[in-house]
Structure 1
Amino acid sequence: MAPDSAPARARLRLEAFCNAIRLAVLFARSRTRLAGSAGFAEGMSLLASWLDLYPDTIHPQLAVDADRDAALEIRSNALQALTDVDGLLSDLREISLVKSTATRLQVRDVERAFARPRPADALSQDSVRQQLDYLRAQTPAVLSGFDQALASFDGIETWSELHLHSFAPDLSTLGNVLRLFARPIEGLAAHDGILEDAAACVTQVADMGAPLDVTTTVQVATTPHAVEPGQPMRSACTSATDRLMALEKMREARHWFETHEPSSPIPVLLRRAEQFVGKRYAEVVQAIPPELLVQWDSEA
């Protein structure tokens, strides 16, 4: 986006005024209505960058409530606005991909074609696939916004899990829609920034002598200066990296089931398992009935 463009100037004014999750969502709604997938990508990028740059000071701040759990829940509710069916999600579904007089293809048409169960009046999946393939080959700009939006979405989801822990909102509805169109982009700057933020958390927790948690795991390569050879931190960071990689694999598996088998209970179980990663054994056991654990263990 050109720095002197109207959207760019609007972003700068917003940032100077206030860094708030709900404000970023409103910006995303307005840009989506004006510029379709490209505008939606701008809004998602703004939110991802704000979360990366202002993890502690972005509104609603944790100081909004003396009860930390209540404050985390308030932040979670603000992010949950990304999946408001009467808000941003509705704007996203209204985006027109094909605007010819003969046919009109919207995001909601693609979503309905691949829904489970599939509505009787939905377009055929083959027809939708052909149109998307044509758009990707002939007019890639129409779908490139979804590529960028998915990259920002992944960064936002990662930030939520790192900073909100068990209060992280379920954003899978939005993710499922974006994955119908997007070709994932590697190395998004906002996502890299979130990993660097997590690396700083690793250093801080290590200095305090606290046990590592999934909220402080990150690849050691992102902060080579944080660990000197021979320090005990090396093995802890290696373990943390392995745990983060395993968590990412779990997340990828959940995304696959959410996309291809949305009616299956497996995504729910996998999401719950993700939330347990890094928790103490006692916390996990308290959340699962002991008799169920015994049954699962005997059936394995």
Structure 2
Amino acid sequence: MPMSVIESEALLDELSAEAPCGEDLEYDTAFAELEELIQETPERQYGDTIIPAQPPDWGAVKRTALSLFERTRDLRIATALARALLHTDGLSGFAGGLAVVRGMLERYWDGVYPLLDPDDDHDPTLRVNVLVALCDQDATLRGLRETPLVDSRALGRFSLRDVHIANGLLTPLATDDAAELPTQVKIDGAFMDAELETLQGNAQAVTEAIAEVLQIEATLTDLIGVTRAPDMSALAGVLKEMRNVLAQQLQKRGVGLTVEAEAAETEAEGRSSSAAGAGQRLVVGEIGSREEAVRMLDKISEYFERYEPSSPVPLLLKRAKKLVAKDFMTLLNDLAPGGVDQAALIFGSANEETSE
């Protein structure tokens, strides 16, 4: 059964008056089990036999995450649950999982796990990194694109990935059966054959998921500032593509998206846009300026100093920071003073260039 609003709300109740978020289970065996369950089993080879990579057992991930919710309120568990619900309960489950993530941010920011570091100006990097998994291609977006948008008894299931292949936007894999490749004619036929109520439910779920993502982004911007909040547009973008496909197909059936769903998305987009107007978010997977690059070097250095204190990486990164603003000859003089004369012989000195 897909996660209902009531079930989502139950996962957001205070665990106790003294400790609303319960206990930190980071070192609990059940938490370790969840982290192991959510990992994909990589491709293996034994002699001439190749065993393909295996996805996580999402049912087990869901069950383990829900059991942990009985003792804690943790963003790591919430994101794992949202990803699991996508695979076990479909689009409505994913929207419900995102609602849990949003609710944790809105209600329990001060106490939700992982805790903010009081010794580092309450740095939210750990929490941001947890949420970035929702925008990761391998962790979430690939599975989202492969989630069925339509299920026809006569013509089969089709996803956003299938729509992309049918329209030449994506090259099929070598493992895809050429005889079974999707075409737009097949996809259109499936949407005409499928139950209208189911299609409307999928469209409603996708639109609600978009609203949840935009609310998560806006809430984070309010809490930690626009420069620290992650850009959730990769996730929102895939969901909007799915929404557009469903809207177009529903229009062919003579119906549209519900007024309530469109209103929720419009409200969330307005809040997200106003929050973004204050500055530029940290873009997941993309660095837009030298200043952002330097900040990322600082974050990488902080990670190794905190979790791998014997690593030489922080020393190397600190030296690298000093070289960012230097030109080639100054950099060469800093790294290898003896190499400056050799470089001058090859490229010519600055004085020679001036005299010419």
Question: Normalising by the residue count of structure 1, what TM-score does the alignment of the two structures yield?
Answer: 0.53
Residue 52 of structure 1: how far off its partner (Å): 1.1
Letter in 2 for 1:66: D
Please give the alpha-carbon distance, in whole angstroms, between the structure 1 residues aligned to 2:80 and 2:276. 35
State yes or no: 1:168 paired with 2:236.
no
Match 1:39 to one of 93, 98, 103: 93
Match of 2:218 in 1: 158
Matching of residue 66 in structure 1 with residue 66 in structure 2: no
SS for the counterpart of 1:87 is helix
TM-score by length of 2: 0.46
Q: Is 2:262 aligned against 1:185?
A: yes
Q: Judge conservation of contact 1:96–1:104 (CA < 8 Å) in 2.
A: yes
With over 3 angstroms needed to count, the CA separation of the structure-2 counterparts of 1:61 and 1:114, relative to structure 1, is: farther
Letter in 2 for 1:27: L
Distance 1:146 1:135, change over 3 A: farther
Q: 1:83 to 1:56 in 2, by over 3 A?
A: same
Pair 1:171–1:95, CA change in 2 (3 A) = same
> Judging changes above 3 Å, is the alpha-carbon distance between structure 1 residues 32 and 245 closer, same or farther for their aligned structure 2 residues?
closer
The offset of 1:93, in angstroms, is: 2.7
Deviation at 1:105, TM superposition (A): 0.4
2:74 is aligned to 20
Cα drift, residue 39 of structure 1 = 0.4
Pair 1:60–1:31, CA change in 2 (3 A): same
What's 1:247 paired with?
Answer: 277
Question: 1:149 is paired with a residue of what secondary structure?
Answer: helix
Cross-structure match for 1:144 = 204
Say whether 1:103 aligns with 2:156: yes
RMSD over aligned Cα atoms: 4.8
More helix by share: 1
1:88 corresponds to which of 133, 137, 140: 140
Aligned equivalents of 1:147, 1:133: Cα separation in 2: 21
Question: What's the offset of the Cα at 1:107?
Answer: 3.2
Asked if 2 retains the 8 angstrom alpha-carbon contact of 1:136 and 1:143, the reply is: no
The residue identity in structure 2 corresponding to 1:88 is T
Deviation at 1:46, TM superposition (A): 0.8
Asked whether the equivalents of residues 72 and 164 of structure 1 are also in contact (C-alpha less than 8 Å), the reply is: no
Counterpart pick for 1:78 among 130, 143, 156: 130
On the 8 A contact 1:111/1:180 being kept in 2, the answer is no
Q: 1:51 aligns with which of 97, 102, 105?
A: 105
2:114, 2:225 → 1: CA distance? Answer: 12
Partner Cα separation in structure 2 for residue 137 and residue 185 of structure 1: 18
C-alpha distance in 2 between matches for 1:8 and 1:245: 26
The answer on whether the counterparts of 1:83 and 1:171 sit within 8 Å (CA) in structure 2 is yes
Aligned residues: 212
Return the alpha-carbon distance in structure 1 between the equivalents of residues 221 and 276 of structure 2. Answer: 14
Q: Compare CA radii of gyration and give the structure with the larger one.
A: 2
User: What secondary structure sits across from 1:99 in the alignment?
Assistant: strand
Q: Output the CA distance in 1 between the equivalents of 2:76 and 2:83.
A: 11
- Of structures 1 and 2, the one scoring higher in RCO (CA 8 A, sep 6+) is 1
Q: Is the 8 A contact 1:135 1:143 kept in 2?
A: no
Residue 23 of structure 1 and its aligned partner are, at CA, apart by 1.2
Compared CA separation, residues 128 and 72, structure 1 to 2 (3 A): farther
Sequence identity of aligned pairs in percent?
A: 24
